[in-house]
């Protein structure tokens, strides 16, 4: 059986979500798939994802190995002699939730291998344990989306509250510049003294409310305006780069309603919302800048 974990985009609220503010986020229709197959001759637990050039043993000194062991411990499955063979339809280290997608798929695959039901509570706990190792103080938004799909508002205290929305077309531009989420989360902690009272974090949280209401009202220009402002604040907090700024600017100049970095920043991906007849212009500008973007349709009761 093949287990799935979905990638995600954050439309509004990244970083502020770590401090308890809401984030508006959506699962992508792609992510990571994992099948657990017995390792020949009873060899040790390992993971093999050719699409990411990733092949590690659970005992290796590698972040993915440590995450894998954390998942096994949380699930209480021991160290089964299996190879977790995977495929990935999203790049890693790109702000698209690859580590959470991997953790969810691995947890589901291990439970399926042991013929245990994929209890959402257990999968959530296991994937969060993995994310805590990978990213330090992760909010849990990536795991929630990787499991549930759809679109919704996530808060650390209440989890994901899905809401029905018209399908939303989002242009996604993976910049190709890798970064680590934990370093960006630390950067924001330094800039804000890790205080939820910081007015920039507060404004990011407010923009999530504005953007979610705009999305429900199908007011894409208002959603775009909130995204533009969020990018400005995130840049002020030090998590944008010249490349991300210029990809966002290129999208706006090409007629997008709005554009911003998505996820932790410092590299990773940008997203844009554009009128349908401007989408190709945005993608072409990104292509000219060396970035192959794609259109993701999110929400829509998925």
Which of 111/134 has CB closer to ligand MEV?
A: 134
> Cα separation of 57 and 65, whole Å?
6
Min dist CB 173 to ligand MEV, Å, is 16
When binding is defined by CB under 6 A, the residue of 139, 165, 208, 254 that contacts ligand MEV is 139
Pick out residues in 142-161 that bind ligand MEV (CB under 6 A). 142
Find the binding residues for ligand MEV in span 239-268 (CB under 6 A): 263-264
x/- binding map, residues 81-110, to ligand MEV, per CB under 6 A? ----------------x-------------
Measured between alpha carbons, how far is 184 from 165 in angstroms, rounded to an integer? 30
Determine phi and psi for 224, rounding to 5 degrees.
-60, -40
Task: Please pick, from the candidates 12, 127, 141, 256, the single residue that binds ligand MEV as defined by CB under 6 A.
Answer: 141
Report which secondary-structure segment, H or E, holds 36. strand 23-38
Query: CB 132 → ligand MEV: shortest distance, Å?
Result: 10
User: Which of 27, 72, 138, 244 touches ligand MEV (CB under 6 A)?
Assistant: 138
Q: Rule CB under 6 A: is residue 18 a binding residue for ligand MEV?
A: yes
The owner of tokens 């001759």 is 41
CA–CA separation, 7 vs 4, rounded Å? 10
- Tell me which H or E stretch contains 260: strand 258-262
- Number of neighbours of residue 20 by Cβ within 10 angstroms: 13
Closest CA to 156 of 54, 16, 251, 282: 16
Select the span of 49-57, 101-109, 134-142, 168-176 touching ligand MEV (CB under 6 A). Answer: 134-142
Structure tokens at 207: 């923009």
The structure tokens listed for 214 are: 């705009």
The contact mask relative to ligand MEV for 181-200 (x = CB under 6 A, - = no) is: x---x---------------
The answer to the question of residue 208 lying near ligand MEV (CB under 6 A) is no
- Which residue has 């977790």 as its token pair? 84
| Chain residues in the site for ligand MEV (CB under 6 A) | 10, 14-15, 17-18, 97, 135, 138-139, 141-142, 181, 185, 263-264
């Amino acid at each position: 059986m093949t287990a799935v974990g979905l990638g995600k985009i954050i439309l509004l609220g990244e970083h502020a979500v770590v401090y308890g503010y809401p984030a508006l986020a959506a699962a992508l229709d792609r992510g990571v798939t994992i099948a657990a197959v017995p390792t020949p001759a009873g060899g040790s637990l390992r993971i093999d994802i050719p699409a990411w050039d990733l092949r590690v043993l659970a005992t290796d000194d590698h972040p993915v190995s440590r995450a894998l062991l954390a998942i096994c411990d949380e699930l209480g499955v021991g160290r089964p002699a299996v190879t977790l063979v995977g495929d990935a339809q999203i790049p890693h280290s790109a702000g698209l939730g690859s580590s959470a997608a991997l953790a969810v798929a691995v947890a589901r695959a291990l439970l399926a291998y042991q013929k245990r039901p994929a209890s959402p509570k257990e999968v959530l706990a296991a994937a969060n344990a993995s994310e805590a190792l990978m990213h330090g103080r992760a909010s849990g938004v990536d795991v929630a989306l990787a499991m549930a799909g759809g679109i919704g508002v996530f808060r650390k205290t209440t989890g994901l509250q899905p809401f029905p929305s018209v399908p939303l077309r989002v242009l996604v531009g993976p910049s190709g510049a890798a970064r680590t989420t934990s370093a960006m989360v630390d950067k924001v902690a330094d800039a804000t003294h890790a205080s939820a009272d910081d007015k920039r974090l507060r404004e990011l949280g407010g923009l999530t409310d504005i953007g979610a209401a705009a999305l429900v009202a199908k007011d894409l220009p208002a959603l775009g305006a909130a995204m533009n402002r969020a990018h400005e604040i995130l840049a002020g907090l030090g998590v944008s780069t010249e490349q991300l700024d210029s990809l966002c600017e290129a999208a706006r100049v090409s007629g997008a309603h709005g554009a911003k970095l998505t996820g932790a920043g410092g590299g990773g991906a940008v997203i844009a919302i554009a009128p349908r007849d401007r989408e190709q212009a945005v993608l072409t500008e990104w292509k000219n800048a060396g970035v192959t973007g794609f259109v993701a349709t999110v929400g829509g009761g998925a």
